[in-house]
Structure 1
Amino acid sequence: MPPAPHQAASPADIEGRLTAELASVVAGARRRALRDGDRQLDTAHLLHSLMESDPDVRAAFEGGPQVARVLGYLVQRSIGYGLRWQGSVEDSGAVPLITQPGWSPSALAALDHASRRAGARGDDRADGRDLLAALAADPGCRAVEVLDHAGVEAAWLATRLDGPRRRP
Structure 2
Amino acid sequence: MEDVPPRHVQQPAAERGTHRPHLDARVTAELAAVLSGARRRALRDGDRQIDTAHLLHTLLESDPEVRAVFDGPQVARLLGYLVQRAIGYGMRWQTTVEDSGAVPMLKEPDGWSPAAATALGAAYGHAAGRGDACARGLDLLAAMVADPESRAVEVLGRAGVGVRALTERIAAAGAVPSSR
- Shorter-chain TM range is 0.7 to 0.9
Match of 1:73 in 2: 81
Match of 1:20 in 2: 29
* 5+ long unaligned stretches in structure 2: 1-17, 101-108, 176-180
2:42 is aligned with 1:33: yes
The one-letter amino acid paired with 2:142 is A
Contact 1:9 1:112 in 2 (8 A): no
**Equivalent position to 2:142, from 133, 139, 142:** 133
**Structure 1 residue 155 displacement after superposition:** 2.1
**Runs of at least 4 residues off by over 6 Å:** none
* 5+ long unaligned stretches in structure 1: 1-7, 93-99
Match of 1:158 in 2: 167
**Structure 1 residue 165 displacement after superposition:** 3.5
Pick closer, same or farther for the CA change 1:149–1:80 going to 2, 3 Å. same
User: How many percent of aligned residue pairs carry the same amino acid?
Assistant: 63
* 1:115-141 deviation digits (Å, cap 9, x = unpaired): 111101110100001011111111100
Instruction: Please provide the CA RMSD for this pair.
Output: 1.8
Match of 2:98 in 1: 90
- CA distance in 1: counterparts of 2:50 and 2:81, whole angstroms: 18
Contact 2:38 2:50 in 1 (8 A): yes
Contact 1:133 1:161 in 2 (8 A): yes
Q: TM-score, normalised by structure 2?
A: 0.79
CA radius of gyration, larger in: 2
**Structure 1 residue 9 displacement after superposition:** 7.2
Between the two proteins, the alignment pairs up a number of residues equal to: 150
* 1:42-86 deviation digits (Å, cap 9, x = unpaired): 000000000000000000112x21110011111011011221011
Q: TM-score, normalised by structure 1?
A: 0.84
Contact 1:17 1:125 in 2 (8 A): yes
